Amino acid sequence: MLYLKNKDNKNRKRLENTEFKNLSIKFLNSVFSNNPKFASFQQKNNFKIKKQQKFCSKTRLVNRCILTNRSRGVYRKFKVSRILMRKLLLFGALPGYAKSVW
């Protein structure tokens, strides 16, 4: 399980590094879009973006529980899985929430 956490952290760092580069390349392409002199420049940059998108996209990021490293059923607000959240609510560790019992 630890290798999945490391893989996700690696993908997040890679996304942070390439996100600014991609935005700047897209901006330059939009600025020079009407000029035919920069057609080869645009093609090279589009190729770079497409090549990076496979490994550096937001869809590859996985939300994981901070404490148990579980990937499914994670609440975004607390970054905790649903199973652990029930336990925390039972002990009153999360202020303002109470475990509902029917």
Predicted local distance difference test score (pLDDT) of residue 83: 92
Is residue 10 domain-shared with residue 27, that is, in the same domain?
yes
Number of domains in the chain: 2
Which CATH number characterizes residue 73's domain? 4.10.830.10
Distance (Å, whole) CA 33 – CA 9: 36
Contact 25, 32 (CB under 8 A): no
Considering the domain architecture, whether residues 15 and 51 belong to the same structural domain is answered as yes
DSSP-derived 3-state class of residue 23: helix
Is the whole model's pTM more than 0.75, yes or no? Answer: no
Q: Are residues 53 and 102 in the same domain?
A: no
Domain enclosing residue 40, as ranges: 1-61
Same domain, residue pair 2 and 47: yes
Task: Give the per-residue pLDDT at 30.
Answer: 75
What pLDDT digit, counting tens, does each position of 5-22 carry? Answer: 888 888 888 888 777 777
Q: What angle do CA 27, 29, 34 make, to 5 degrees?
A: 120
| Residues 28-48 pLDDT 10s | 777 777 777 667 777 777 777
Query: Hey, CA dihedral for 66, 70, 71, 76, is it positive or negative?
Result: negative
Q: What is the pLDDT of residue 73?
A: 92
In a shared domain, residues 3 and 47: yes
